[in-house]
Structure formats: C-alpha cells, structure tokens
Amino acid sequence: MENFCGYNLEHKTVFGRDTIIVYPKEGTANGKWVLKTEYFGAFPDTEIKLLEKGYHIAHIATKTRWYVHEDNEAKAALAEYMHTELGLSRRCAVVGMSCGGMQGIYFGAVYPEYVSCMYLDAPVVNLLSVVFGLGRTSANKDLDFFKKQFVEDTKMTLADLISYREHPLDYLPKLVRHRIPVILVSGDSDTVVNFEENGLFIKEAYEKAGIPIEVYIKKGGDHHPHGLSDNTPVVDFILKYDK
C-alpha cells in the first residue's frame, strides 16, 4: 500500500473509476468514513484529524470538477461500496472545498441517504459568479482558464448558463428539505469564490429553516488556504452530526 501522511492508502476501482481509500490505524476504526469530493490530498488537516479518530477517507475520480450527473452516480456507488465491501456506515461526512463543495451540494441534494453532514469550504454555489465573473469575482486572474475549462467539460456557454436551472444554488431547497447539517468556512476577501455570491446563500437558507449550521468567516482570507488555522471546530462538528 502507499502512504498518506502516515496512513495506508489503497487504490481500488469503483464504478469503473480510480478510487482512493485511506485506512485508519489498526484497531482504531470506528465504522465511519469521509468522502473528499475533489482535490484529494489538498489541505488535508481535517482528514488527518479524522483518521486519528478512526475514520476512513475515500475519494473517487470525477470526469470534471465542474460536475456532471454521472459523477454524482459514482459517489453513490462509492457509498454502497464502502458499506457493503468494507462494512462501514452507508452515510458519510462530506468534505468539499471550492468545486468540491459544489459537488457536495449536488450529492447531498440528490442522494441524502448517503450523507450525514457536510464541511463546505468556499463552496461554489453560483456558476455565473465563479466561472463567468458576473459579479465581484470579475477580477479573478484565473477567470479565462475557468471559462475555457468549463465550456470544454460541460459543453455549456454563458448563454446556456443564463437559463440553466441546475446551478448548485438551485439545489439548495433540496438540501434544506433533507436537513443535512453544514459547517461552512469562507474568507471575506475571496477573489475566486466570493462569499456574498456563493456561501451566503447556504447560510441564509439554513438559518431561515432552522437547520444546524456553523459559519466561520476568515477575516482577510482569500480562496487559499482552505480550512481554519485550527480545524478542531470542523472535526468537532463532524463528530457531533455524523450519526
């Protein structure tokens, strides 16, 4: 097996895709697991802390970070695999950063039976804002790259997106209906995924519905680095709501 921060990492094939599973130390497994939706290995402090608590960590390859329905199906297949093949809980805690946060929203909205709670860090909620810069992110230096990659991967242009009704934003009512607890982290100076045009929608929808949500806004924080200076609140939130 490979090594991931001192833990055993194994590659599997699930749903025809490369899948990564990281195992807790022998004798510590608690039957629970985390789905890292995108960017496996990036800003891993929360995952490492949960491995110490006995969690497994899993990631399944996506066709695009910008989301296609088949990627949601792959995550559902992974959840079944983790349950039936490894004997873990059918429900997982989702860790989603940036586009991974967007993927978490889609997954929780469509497959709530597999999601106990979510840690969303600077999640993409509004594609018009993040991809095409229609708002405060217009100065994002990566905007041209985002546009090109998004159009190539999804076959949608700005004209298509204006009338699109499957933004992550459009899936928030389903999350609210399923009452999936969320801990939300964002920087107040994020030049890539502006909080007021993205994460704020989650905060307002959850607070209005009285659903458990904790929000941490990092003063002066840009898009990177993800996470808090001390991720203990994130870990504690997951331990509390991952039932």
Q: What is the pLDDT of residues 93-102, one digit of tens each?
A: 999 999 999 9
- d(Cα 138, Cα 124) in Å, to the nearest integer? 15
- d(Cα 143, Cα 225) in Å, to the nearest integer? 19
Under 8 Å between Cβ of 2 and 61: no
| pLDDT tens digits along 61-100 | 999 999 999 999 999 999 999 999 999 999 999 999 999 9
Mean pLDDT across 166-179: 96
Average pLDDT value for the chain: 96
- Give the per-residue pLDDT at 138: 58
Mean pLDDT across 152-159: 95
- Give the per-residue pLDDT at 191: 92
List the domain boundaries for the chain: 2-126+171-241
Residue 205 has pLDDT above 90, yes or no: yes
Residue 199 has pLDDT above 80, yes or no: yes
Token code pair at residue 97: 């950063």
- Give the per-residue pLDDT at 139: 61
- Give the per-residue pLDDT at 137: 64
| pLDDT tens digits along 117-149 | 999 999 999 999 999 998 876 567 788 999 999
Binning pLDDT at 50, 70 and 90, where does residue 37 land? Answer: very high
Which CATH homologous superfamily contains domain 2-126+171-241? Alpha/Beta hydrolase fold, catalytic domain (3.40.50.1820)
- Give the per-residue pLDDT at 135: 84
Share of the chain above pLDDT 90, in %: 95
* DSSP conformation class of 18: E
| pLDDT tens digits along 103-122 | 999 999 999 999 999 999 99
Alpha helices in the chain (DSSP H): 45-52, 69-84, 99-110, 127-130, 143-154, 158-162, 168-178, 199-209, 232-241
